Amino acid sequence: MDEYESEDTHESGGSLRAKLEQSLKSGAELAAEVAKYRAKDLISDKGLHYVTPEDLAGVGLNELEAKALELEGKKKEQQEAAIRSAFKNKGLDGDELDRAVQELLGPPSNDTAAVDRIRQVGKIQGLPPGRQDDSELFGPSRIRAAFGSK
């Protein structure tokens, strides 16, 4: 043995493989966690209403935006088709059907930027954090949640 080798630096192939597998597993878990947070940010930034972070699980970081936009379009079409079908079953058709579908769907609410600004100001001023998952809230309810009130 020379001066750089010691008995405790030698490990069996099995233990090295186990360490490598553990390290790879840990890296994959961390990558999945980062992708989950990136998906939440992307959904918020783009104002997507139909896509959830769970929908984007397993999607690579470089493909998140394209997949999110694709899923948003598909889910929106599915929802509109289901609503349209329900109204058709109720006897509506033509312009009346289109009007009823649009009234039910309404214009998309894109208040995510305002909520994010409120949260940033709240952090600076030391307000308690609001609900972290406010995706089911809209309009004034969502703004109140961003301020931490009910």
How far is the C-alpha of 1 from the C-alpha of 19, rounded, in Å? 25
Q: Does the pLDDT value for residue 145 go beyond 80?
A: no
**For residue range 30-78, what is the model confidence (pLDDT) as tens digits?**
888 888 888 888 888 888 888 888 898 888 888 889 999 999 999 989 9
Tell me what pLDDT residue 58 has: 85
Tell me what pLDDT residue 21 has: 94
Q: Does the pLDDT value for residue 93 go beyond 90?
A: no
How far is the C-alpha of 103 from the C-alpha of 11, rounded, in Å? 69
Residue 23 — very low, low, confident or very high, per pLDDT cuts 50/70/90? very high
Query: Phi/psi zone of residue 93: left (φ > 0), alpha (ψ -120 to 50 degrees), beta?
Result: beta
Tell me what pLDDT residue 74 has: 93
Query: Do 83 and 101 form a contact (C-beta atoms < 8 A)?
Result: yes
Query: Do 76 and 50 form a contact (C-beta atoms < 8 A)?
Result: yes
Query: Do 141 and 114 form a contact (C-beta atoms < 8 A)?
Result: no
Tell me what pLDDT residue 112 has: 60
The rounded mean pLDDT for the chain is 77
Tell me what pLDDT residue 70 has: 93
The model's pTM:
0.54
